[in-house]
Amino acid sequence: MKELLDRPLHPYTIGLLKSIPDIGQRGAPLYTIPGRVPSLAERKGGCPFAGRCAHAEPECATRLPALERRAAHHRVRCHLYADKEASR
């Protein structure tokens, strides 16, 4: 868990952590992740966060990313971290 919070990788995780209120920033607007959470009926495939991700590429909407190991207890499912060598 410490690895996840200290070094978040997935863009959605980064957005969630940025949206946590900070007592030192009282009165400042909170960060919000753009877009809206789709209903389960709207999910077609691909990355479930693609519609709300600033890094989304066309493949994100159609292909679910592989689960990539980045540390002993840290994995990420995002095309940004795809093992490009393994897919060749």
The per-residue pLDDT for range 9-18, each reduced to its tens digit, is: 999 999 999 9
What is the distance between the alpha carbons of residues 69 and 81, in angstroms, rounded to a whole number? 9
The per-residue pLDDT for range 17-30, each reduced to its tens digit, is: 999 998 888 888 99
pTM across the whole model: 0.78
Instruction: Give 32's contacts (C-beta < 8 A, 6+ positions apart).
Output: 19
Share of the chain above pLDDT 90, in %: 52
Instruction: Tell me how far apart the terminal alpha carbons of the chain are, to the nearest angstrom.
Output: 32
Task: Please answer whether residues 68 and 82 qualify as being in contact, where contact means their C-beta atoms are separated by less than 8 angstroms.
Answer: yes
Which sequence spans correspond to the domains of the chain?
2-21+31-81
CA triple 14-66-47, angle to 5 deg: 55
pLDDT digits (tens), the chain, 88 positions: 788 889 999 999 999 999 999 888 888 899 999 988 888 888 888 999 998 999 999 999 999 999 999 888 899 999 998 865 444 3
